[in-house]
Structure 1
Amino acid sequence: MGGRYEMKVLLQELYQGDTPRARRYRYALLAFDLGTLLFVVGTSFHPRSAVLEAADALIGVALLAEFIARHAASPTPGRDLLHPVTLADAVAILSFLIPVTGEGAGFLRALRTLRVLHGYKTLVRLREDFRAFRRNEEVWLAATNLVVFVFIMSGIVYETQHRTNPLIGHYVDALYFTVTALTTTGFGDITLPGTAGRMLSVAIMIFGVTLFLRLAQTIFRPAKVRFECPACGLRRHESDAVHCKACGTVLHIPDEGEA
């Protein structure tokens, strides 16, 4: 009983704490997720083999262990299990563990990575650890949203097309189609046949253009700082603001001593 309690305390520290060990662990998880996604892309260029299936299984076991640890540390495991991103993560893990499927749905792991990046504790830590992120937080998040969307849609295109569409031979072909559809360039050298293919193309164009415009808006909009007004709670202000534009309260926004 004592060992189980100590393990739960350790997991809660790693996933919810702010100790140096917890921060290193969460950064390591992000790095592992990115490595997993690169593995999914890279293996799309190679035929299935016993070596790749063994690698899939090892990654799947590691992902499953992390999945169990994460929910053991959660204060609301039941609610977390029903979250759509958690369900997508479970599908991604199963795709690694079931050899006959390959790691086809592994690209869904990107949703878990995106959720971690948007988590409150992760955002606070990134603001404190990385000056570039702190100064351009909304640009980084908008760019991450767009990149994850492109990655996932390319994965969907690849998985739904590469067995039947000779124009989609590997992940880069799917990525190329996704980007041309998103930018509405539409060169026409790669198309998705059938009603399902056309609807997938429409979804890429509609949602992709929305995310792209969001990124452009955050890049060209005047930079603001995040600081909560003690009176009205407004959190975004001009970098040199002295008073809150909503209620007029005097602000004391910390700066880094730059001219």
Structure 2
Amino acid sequence: MFGGSDIKIDVKKPVYELIVEHILTNYNFLHKQVSHHVDVEYSAVLTGLALGDGRIHSAFKRARISDENAGEIAKKLMDTNIVRLLKSRKQFTSWVDDERVSDKLLFTTPFMRFWFAFVAPIFKGIKEGNYDEFNQRYENKIAEFREAVFKELSNELVKISFAEEKVVETGAYWDREVELDIFAKTASKKVIVGTCRYTNSKLKKSEIAKLEELANRAKIKADVFVIVAKRGFSSELKSLKSEDIRLFTLKSFKSLL
């Protein structure tokens, strides 16, 4: 939530306490800083990107901006360095079709994403020191916010976890029907597909079948399946762990440090 800002925080304090202390009570100051980087007329678009999956078409549609103007506005936002363009790894698959797949815009810093997800849309109450609406929004959507960061870190984890193969391409795959959190290729041409589950329950054996089905629907021939789970796996799923089925939990993220 504070990544990319110059806010100094005490990581031993509860996250919500830090948000109130450094963000909500300093709304006016932070608002001026953010306004230097982005025109307020784009706030609705940025909120759509912050709370959605980042697809340009759907975010602009929610903001009621026509496709004719979407490209120009997307370029302006990228020029401010608040967001960056992400294309589907579909371009690296072995098949091509005529369907256009919407690109995504991802925030370059977690702080800006947090601001437009939780602060900018309900600024009036926050400005007046009333945090009731913020609290409700935070409670309802914080898991979704964290999940997106979890997926990005999972892709970084894949990069360093296949050192013997050397991952040369990684990212998310999506088309009009299928979305894969992880789609990577190694120098030896192996294809890795994976899913990230930010859930409080252990994942079962059926997750492998679901992942295989998604790969088949996307016409991707996968060599390795990866599952990253917040709370780990059932005994049945653990028993399937092999060179072709890799399982990672939160403990695995220590290697990123």
Q: Shorter-chain TM-score: which interval?
A: 0.3 to 0.5
TM-score normalised by structure 1 residue count: 0.34
Q: Please identify which structure carries the higher strand content.
A: 2
TM-score normalised by structure 2 residue count: 0.34
